[in-house]
A and B are shown apart, each in its own frame.
Chain A
Amino acid sequence: MLTQILESINIGLVTLDAEFRTRYWNKWMQQCTNMDSKLIEGSVIFDFFPNLNNPRFIRRAKSSMKFGEIWQFSQKLHNYLFPIKLTGSDGIALMQQSCSMGPVYGEGNVIEAIYITVTDVTDIVAYERKLMEALHDKDMLMREVHHRVKNNLAVIQSLLRLQLKDIADDKSREYFMDAENRVKSMTMIHEMLHEADDITRLSTSGYVLKLVETLFHNYKVQHHIKLEYDIQHIELDVDTIIPLGLIINELVSNALKYAFPNETEGELRISLKRKGEGNYELIIKDTGAGLPEGFDLNKTKSLGLLIVKSLVNQLQGTLEASSKGGAEFRMVFTDKTVA
């Protein structure tokens, strides 16, 4: 009865003796390899499958034979034990196999042979490869989208800059420049995402420095403002880093515009650090003129700060402002993916 099952089961079954001679070769193996059991039984397996004559297979077989060890030959690492050509259209030339090996005990609990089972996992591997390809395609598509968004934002930025050239009024010029910087802070994110390994997360360390340097350049800051910079390497979700970039853009722009009038010397400190599990703290502090007297964050009408407050709400964070020896903004927020 057992032989009937072994001959009809949808799994390859082989037994080998201590000299690696084939003792049993079931129907499944005969059909898949096109080798009759009469041909292979009694012969050394390596004569038919020289690929098995390698240290890994031999040491596993010997230890099964000697100590009764049980082994798995995973498809991920080995692909197959018995090379079997396929004619299917999945682009996989050889049958992918998940195999196992173990001892066969005879009388007196003595190991007489080892068995090898062979399971065809080609379908699963083909499916996995298709999924990987689809994932890769999605990744490429997302990159392309980031690239196009970046290009479109860059066009908007150029249009604003072109318009700026024709504006004589200082106040209006300032509005255009603010708008251009806001667009720029987002352009940079899409540019970095287009080039990043992971298109859903971005590290703060590179981005924040680039953003702040651009602002220093745009506001033509000479050497009178010293930048102190302490940004931890934190990977944030795109949905977190875009508002965060805009917030930094507003607060740093404010400091560069108002804290140090007439090129008075001072310092601007920016720090971004982890604060407990999934929480982060951003501090932007200057040593300049400080906030206007009677300043109340809740009553401010400044567009920049209104934008900041709205973005802090979007990040479900908290914002505090104080004015001791300069203006200080302290924000605590959570990354979207962690929350």
Chain B
Amino acid sequence: MTPSLNELELDALKEMMNIGFGRAAGELSDILGTQVALAVPQIEVMRFDEIDKYLFSTMKEETGYNVIRQFFIGNFEGRSLLLLPYSQGKLFFSCFCDSLEYDSGIDIDLLEKETLLEIGNIIIGACVGKIAELLKDRVKFSPPSFIRIKADQILPDENAGEEKFVLSFKTVFQFEHQNVSGYLFLIIDYGTAKWLKDAISDFLGQYQ
């Protein structure tokens, strides 16, 4: 059973996420050395087994995704998946990598993977770190991993047996004049979801 959030809590969560992403954008600008703006037009809460259906219905035209996966450890604990559709991945790559810096013999595919992994990792760090901070927690990260999946493949999950709770954020990143959109999924288990519910009520308490 997943703990459900009522409308007020969901609103509070959205509010927190927007604040968190706003602060993350500031730090991302500093780290990436370019002006970054983040917008989160859509936040949803769903079960893990609903993600595939959700992606299928929202991104029909995509042929596949680059997935950057990372664990975060703390009171707020779980897995983050940043999904960048193939088409958007190319845009990311062109924003952040000048392949001319490298030897002519360099494997461009490897360079693209590393660049996506790097930028994805930084984005996850900024977003998850800031959300945790708002919840008065500090998280640690595992090394990130990179997977490419086709649109008809399902997202990999080692613990699919357990019931998981997913916070899904459709995120639009703006670098200089380029808009790149992706999806950030935070997959948490029952214990963390319960902790999150309490943390949200504490957050709400500050304004009551």
Mark A residues whose CB is within 8 Å of B: 54-56, 58-60, 62-63, 66-72, 74, 76-77, 103, 105, 109
Contacts and interface: CB of A to CB of B under 8 A. Distances in A.
B122 A76 contact: no
Contacts, number: 57
Given A59-B33, A60-B118, A69 B125 contact: yes
Given A69-B141, A77-B114, A109-B138, A63 B31 contact: yes
Nearest to A74: B114
Contacts of B101: 54
Interface of B is mostly: helix
Interface in B124-166: 125-126, 129, 138-144
Given A68-B125, A70-B141, A77-B106, A56 B33 contact: no
Between B111, B121, B122, B144, the greatest number of chain A beta carbons within 10 A of the residue's beta carbon is seen for B122
Contacts of B107: 76
A261 B126 CA distance: 80
Interface of B: 27, 30-33, 101-102, 106-107, 110-111, 114, 118, 121-122, 125-126, 129, 138-144
Nearest to B129: A67
Contact of A70 (B27, B31, B102, B142): B142
Given A59-B31, A59-B33, A67 B125 contact: yes
A68 B114 contact: no
B114 to A, nearest CB: 5
Given A63-B31, A66-B129, 6 more contacts: A62-B31, A67-B122, A67-B141, A68-B140, A69-B125, A71-B143
Give the 8 A-B CB pairs with smallest separation, nearest first.
A67-B125, A70-B143, A67-B129, A62-B31, A63-B122, A69-B125, A59-B31, A109-B138
Contacts of A77: 102, 106, 110-111, 114
A239 B167 CA distance: 54
A229 B67 CA distance: 43
A77 B139 CA distance: 29
Contacts of B102: 77
Given A74-B114, A77-B111, A59 B140 contact: no
Contacts of A66: 27, 31, 125-126, 129
Nearest to A69: B125
A90 to B, nearest CB: 18
Contact of A69 (B32, B106, B110, B121): B121
Contacts of A67: 27, 122, 125-126, 129, 141
Contacts of A109: 138
Contacts of B141: 67-70
